[in-house]
Chains A and B, each alone.
Chain A
Amino acid sequence: MTAIATRRPAFRWHIVVFLAPAVLVYTAVMILPLFATLQQSLYREVDNQTVFVGLDNFRTLLGDPRWSSSFWNALWNNCWFFIVHMALQNPIGIALAALLSHPKLRFASVYRTAIFVPTILSFVIVGFVWKLILSPLWGVAPSLLDLVGLKVLFEPWLGDETYALTALSLISVWQFVGIPMMLIYAALLSIPNEVLEAAECDGITGIAQFWKIKLPLILPSIGIVSVLTFVGNFNAFDLIYVAQGALAGPNGSTDILGTFLYRTFFGFQLQVGDPNMGAAVASVMFLIILAGVSLYLFGIQTRLRRYQF
């Protein structure tokens, strides 16, 4: 008996103590609700009783014209929201980071601090500031455009179905450009000087050096930035809610999945809230995000070559 007891180390309770608080809170408040939500999407309230209905809620969501038109509208708007971010936020962020990472640039930290300021502001502030600036009533945007002689171009963009979503996407780009800038900046700083000096010896300098040497080296960081943008965009809600309200007007033209989920779950004006349909919307969002993240992890990240210095 004693031989066995000495061979087998004592149970290390301290590991449990160290892990328990984090695992408990995380499981109870994040993981279990997530699965409970997924599960609820398979049930429906019928005569005050919860019945299992399989994939019926999803069929309603994707097929029933009362639901599906809003759903596809929100999904497409959300894709456009993401496309604008990928096309503008990340390239601008990379360009700013490339400029900032120049070793002899003065005031780099001042620029960096200033450009990151919008990112720390709350959506309430951001949404309202831009509503004021773009408001025809106050006239800041028209008079700014007048300075460059483009006043004729001004329109109340946020009130126009054609432009409202793009305008909001641009506002969101303005707010979050600091994140790609910071992450890419860090990646650029970690490129060793020897590599850049070797490039210079071969006559590769300036912009050519950025395209041929630096860009391939920071591709993994660009991948991470893209997936963070994807997750952030497909779970966005606040900016639209603050600027256009839960109805995501004008006429639903700025409705994205986050606002659609909010309205489905809580109801709005004449529509009654429906937790089970809300759970179905949340599950679809979960699947979209899961698909995007897996595509990145298994399809893209494994193919990106990481350079170890």
Chain B
Amino acid sequence: MSRATSSLPRTIAAHTILIAYTAIALFPVLLIVVNAFKTRKAIFRAPMALPDAESFSLEGFRTVLSQGDFTAYFQNSLIVTVVSIALVLLFGAMAAFALSEYRFRGSRLTGLYLALGIMIPIRLGTIAILQEMVATGLVNTLTALILVYTAQGLPLSVFILSEFMSQVSDDLKNAGRIDGLSEYRIFFRLVLPLVRPAMATVAVFTMIPIWNDLWFPLILAPSEATKTVTLGAQMFIGQFVTNWNAVLAALSLAIVPVMILYLLFSRQLIRGITSGAVK
């Protein structure tokens, strides 16, 4: 079928607009990465030129790796992000299963209660969270961050996962019950493997704000030993504001891990959105 909408001028116009916007979206990122590999002089003389044999330099990266404790920051970020995601997925899936599988008194209310957090940002409770963490001695520990991010991620996770879990066939679960599987086994052995794609979507949605958050690391865990990459890069920029090589190198290093994860999961992300859970 030939569509009137796919005429050549229209297609060209669409590509022109999209290419232009892609350029706007990527230009700043490329600018950072390209200049991170140049000498100080070249950064200033020709900011938009690619590094060549003369202007190529790894000086910035050397400064970053020798001055800032970036390996430790990366490790902190990684621990916080991975443990939080694991808890969000496990606790979220368990709650989602309870809410979508069983009818019990207060199930609707519990669902609504948990969904409240999708709209109300956790940051508004910061003052009391900080006092709570001080009282329990959790200030300046990664545990504090993990707890906050788990609470922050749970509402959306429960919401998305229960939508998916209600689609898992009842026959399958009942067959499991007849075979004498406990409810726990039905959850872990039958249901969890079936909602794995949805879990990947939740993981991506949860991961980005955690990795990039500046507010809670700044307030709950600003000590040297618990700094995350985002906070570390922020402080590093503050200290080395005139050493552009080092700053650009630090920013490039901070881009790499999210970029890798994003490219790995981007297919999953769009599949999760289009499959209807977030619409």
Least CB distance, A245 to chain B, in whole angstroms = 9
B119 and A231 form a contact (CB under 8 A) = yes
Interface 0/1 of B225-246, CB less than 8 Å to A: 0000010011001000000000
Q: Which residue on B lies nearest to A220, using beta carbons?
A: B279
A115 and B25 form a contact (CB under 8 A) = yes
Least CB distance, B61 to chain A, in whole angstroms = 16
| Interface 9-mer from B63-71, B147-155, B166-174 | B147-155
Contacts of A304 on B, CB cut-off 8 Å? none
Does B53 lie at the interface of the complex (its beta carbon under 8 Å from any beta carbon of A)?
Answer: no
B4 and A206 form a contact (CB under 8 A) = yes
Contacts of A182 on B, CB cut-off 8 Å? 269-270, 273
B95 and A123 form a contact (CB under 8 A) = no
Does B262 lie at the interface of the complex (its beta carbon under 8 Å from any beta carbon of A)?
Answer: yes
A124 and B114 form a contact (CB under 8 A) = no
In the complex, A193→B213 CA distance in Å? 41
Q: Which residues of B in the span 94-117 have a Cβ within 8 Å of any Cβ on A?
A: 94-95, 97-99, 102, 104, 110, 113-114, 116-117
B120 and A23 form a contact (CB under 8 A) = no
Least CB distance, B136 to chain A, in whole angstroms = 10
Instruction: State whether A30 and B5 are in contact (beta carbons under 8 Å apart), knowing that A19-B110, A96-B18, A190-B274 are contacts in the complex.
Output: no
Contact of A99 among B17, B152, B258, B262 (CB under 8 A): B17
Instruction: State whether A15 and B102 are in contact (beta carbons under 8 Å apart), knowing that A122-B254, A122-B258, A290-B120 are contacts in the complex.
Output: yes
Does B74 lie at the interface of the complex (its beta carbon under 8 Å from any beta carbon of A)?
Answer: no
Contact of B97 among A18, A107, A206 (CB under 8 A): A18
A242 and B125 form a contact (CB under 8 A) = no
B5 and A21 form a contact (CB under 8 A) = no
Contacts of B18 on A, CB cut-off 8 Å? 96, 99-100, 111, 115
B5 and A22 form a contact (CB under 8 A) = no
B110 and A23 form a contact (CB under 8 A) = yes
Total of A-B residue pairs, C-beta within 8 Å: 261
Instruction: State whether A96 and B21 are in contact (beta carbons under 8 Å apart), knowing that A26-B151, A120-B259, A206-B5 are contacts in the complex.
Output: yes
Contacts of A71 on B, CB cut-off 8 Å? none
B274 and A104 form a contact (CB under 8 A) = no
Least CB distance, A3 to chain B, in whole angstroms = 23
Q: Which residue on B lies nearest to A189, using beta carbons?
A: B274
Interface residue count for B (Cβ, 8 Å)?
91
B47 and A117 form a contact (CB under 8 A) = no
A29 and B129 form a contact (CB under 8 A) = yes
Does B175 lie at the interface of the complex (its beta carbon under 8 Å from any beta carbon of A)?
Answer: no
Least CB distance, A159 to chain B, in whole angstroms = 15
In the complex, A82→B25 CA distance in Å? 21
Q: Which residue on A lies nearest to B132, using beta carbons?
A: A33
What is the interface of chain A mostly: helix, strand, loop, or mixed?
A: helix
A116 and B266 form a contact (CB under 8 A) = yes
Least CB distance, A288 to chain B, in whole angstroms = 10
Instruction: State whether A125 and B32 are in contact (beta carbons under 8 Å apart), knowing that A29-B147, A33-B129 are contacts in the complex.
Output: yes
A118 and B230 form a contact (CB under 8 A) = no
A117 and B25 form a contact (CB under 8 A) = yes
Q: Which residues of A in the span 173-212 have a Cβ within 8 Å of any Cβ on B?
A: 174, 177, 182-183, 185-187, 189-190, 200, 205-206, 209
Most interface-central of B11, B22, B92 (chain A CB within 10 A)? B22
B5 and A102 form a contact (CB under 8 A) = yes
Does B50 lie at the interface of the complex (its beta carbon under 8 Å from any beta carbon of A)?
Answer: no
Chain B residues proximal to chain A, CB less than 8 Å: 3-6, 10-11, 14-15, 17-19, 21-22, 24-26, 28-29, 31-32, 44, 47-48, 87, 90-92, 94-95, 97-99, 102, 104, 110, 113-114, 116-117, 119-129, 131-132, 147-148, 150-152, 154-155, 158, 182-184, 187, 208, 211-215, 219, 230, 233-234, 237, 247, 251, 254-255, 258-259, 262-263, 266, 269-270, 273-274, 276, 278-279
